[in-house]
Chains A and B, each alone.
Chain A
Amino acid sequence: MSTIIECMGVGKSFSGKSAVGDLSFQIEKGEVVALLGPNGAGKSTTIQMLLGLLEPSTGRIIISGQNPKSKAVRERIGVMLQEVRVLDTVTVKEILQLVRGYYPRPLSMEQLTKLTGLDETSLNMRTEKLSGGQKQRVSFALALAGNPDMLFLDEPTTGMDATARKIFWKSIRELAERGTTIVFTTHYLEEVEYAATRVLMVNHGELIEDGSPEMLKKKLVMQRVSFLTDEVYRPETFQGLGASDIRVDGKKVTILTGDADHLLKVLYALDLEISEVTVSRGTLKEAYSQLTDSQEAS
């Protein structure tokens, strides 16, 4: 593997207000990287800097050895941005043909329609008459038109229905298998788990986690032990269990912990009147909101 995207101490501030702090990371060829973070975390700013649309205030970005603004880079990347409406009063076919013409080695129309699920009817439609989901497909097709080595997708599935989203991620996987490097942002965590090989978590413009989705999950996701009890809840009862959070709702007590085995041992040793004990693993979504919440608090 070789490094294809290098981000070195990159920061961006808008009129004195910092949007991205001090980002440093490298992306290897063929990686599928999810940029994850709450709204206003600096994801879009980061993508725009990677694309050379915004000039970093500090630091440097290098894409396959070159400035992101160079023509050589532009010929190798495909981009889906938020808030881009496709040119109107043209048909889908016309705009795809035009954009294919911008690149030295474009994808064929057949490949484009196959990867994006655009059918003959929508190809002949005017872009302004398309539904939200179809528009996203066209944007995806535009991103793929130049047969890119690198794809940058900023919230690509916003506005897509469930079927469209499924086709989209299937194609992304197919492209990843061919060795395309992909960087995307999304709000849907299931998409991260499905497609990403690596997650970069950002908050307040800083990188707070970097790892595979599984690793992150293991590291972040708490186990949840819950049971019913008639005893009146007293905080001191549950001390020394290694609980990171305790919630009481009537008779039901839910304890979040990093080590459920240990917690259960201690719990049974206390010899309390408890019933219906269940242990479950949290979702990445919970972990994610916990993480961003704790960042918020600190």
Chain B
Amino acid sequence: MGLFDRVFRGSAEMYQKAEEELAKVIAELGEDAQMQMPDTAYFLSCIYAYLGKKVTKLSELRDALAEIKGKMTTNYRTTDVFSSGIGTAMAAEVIEATKYARTPTPYEGTVYHGHFSDAEVRELGVPLVTQDIPGFVVVIGPAPSTEEAVNLIKGYQTRGIFVFLIGGVIDQAVEAGLSMGFPVRVVPVGQEIWSVGHIISLVERAAMIFGAVQPGDWEAFNEYSMARIFAFVNAYKPVADIVVACGGGAIAMGFPVITNDTDDMWRVPKSLIIQEDTEDFIETSLEARDIKIKITNIDIPVAFSTAFEGEIIRKADMRVDINGARFDCFEWVRSQEAKDIEDHQIIVDGPDIADIEPGGSMSLGVIVDVAGKNMQPDFEPVFERKFHNFLNCIEGVMHTGQRDMIRIRISNTAFEAGFSIRHIGEVLYAKVKSEYDTVVDKCQVTLVTDKAKLKELRAEANKTYDKRDLRLRAMTDENVEVFYNCILCQSFSPAHVCIVTPERLGLCGAVSWLDAKATNELDPNGPCQVVTKKRVIDERVGAFEDVNEAVQKYSHGALQQVTLYSILEDPMTSCGCFECICGIEPISNGVSIVNREHTGVTPLGMTFSEMASMTGGGVQTPGFMGHGKHFIASKKFLKAEGGVARIVWMPKALKETVRERLNESAKELYGIDDFCDRIADEDSVTDDPEALLAFLTEKEHPVLAMEPLL
């Protein structure tokens, strides 16, 4: 028999039962008898929600039931399963309502809860809306054993999931002496399957109270529960037709059903899931309903706080030194398939701190495997770069560097408190899961300290780093669909807006296009928003109508237009946290770039801070521009004015940082070799423009052949 038939048979069964019960109660009390559920302003709320009918007496309940019958269609289409399923839930409500027609307290003296008051709906609704309760489960059973029933209930409890019980599983919970009730978030609803009507009633009232969904708007109720109520069903075998029919209703509302019954059962992706191993019900269920459990505390023996971020561990206080410059060490985030990793598994492979002599050194390879429906490989480096902050917040741990050039020191005090290598994994697990909960569903950490294995792993990690770098380098402003803005520093500089493109990173140097993209996807209302680039005004200077609109919007009207590639025409503004400032040097027709660290004077006759006072604050000063170090080698640097060939002076340290890539760009753009050697620095020229000109002439700097700037 097919799934359709089972649903249709089950719903017919529920309807028949409702009809019988209703006939009985009408025979007893008469059709004019009052009918109301206690402590609610929403009548029989399933019927009120889906049919828009206010039932106040038994005759109206009879009319409603007739209408419910009409919803139990059997045309063998998916919509019939949904419609019959919801009909089944309403029929269940009718059956339960007949009990309340006789007395407002039909379950008095039993373990069963029955109807939920509006106050209880609000009490549960608030944490459901805020996700303090990540979701709820309806367990229909008995479980294979009492012990397993208890494990399942407690497993959900520890994850903060609210548990409703129906049927034999309640007897098992009672037998085990489990404490139950609203406050402990385990509620035995009723023995028979129709008590499920109370739970659906609660869901519909939540939609009306919290979502302002209008009674009678069938679709809107299903949409609300699908989008906002994170519920699911665990049904133990044997699952009868009538339960299957209720399941049809649950699925229509967006609540997946997980069962271990394989008889006459069909898998429906994301909706009806067969998990024969009942011990895996919890994990399967959470994944199916896309519920992520928030991690609030980190299980380590030392404190974890930003207060420890700047902590320095000196050699004398150091228990162990992990040094990527001397040994094979690395930090590596890998995207994986969900099925291939186990959440919160932390593997330590090799010796631990205790195995190393005090003050000695060890190797460490950190592999963080993450999986998630919304995970993208582009986020890997973004997570990786945050490891530095995460690990530094541990009391007694100092971390510097990234990729395969890391250095970690662990203090004696931390070691004595019980800190071991595994705890590095605990911290990374907890932080990655909590900070990136929108994209990470599962996270597994492997900590390799076995030197023999590290060499190969490091080589493999390096392959990934290279691949990422290659991708970054291959990305141009032309081959991406959108740019991003960044207004992180508007609290200091209210009118400033950065436009971040693949070839022009944020002026602070900390926000690349990929970072901005990740920030946007992880925090859709946050400081980085999508800026389209569809309407080009002038390709040469990088002017776009969309970009101008974004700048107007995010500067709250202070700024009207910017160009992306010009220092003279509407240059991009600066907040004050630029890594470098570039300023026009009029005698040579070139530009000088000075980085924040350089304290000396430039050929412009000004120091960094003097130039900064003209450049910051979100104002446009043509001829001056703040930017990140990595923008210097970009082919878009001063593109409108002729590109990097305009660079005539840089401090030596800065030149070394950008040398390789700048030389590459110059070679590609102008066919010049060793371009950096033609750029003056503080050794050759300080503040004398004439000396600068002489230097440039001697070195045959390409700027001398270029058009005047002004």
User: Bound pair: A and B?
Assistant: no
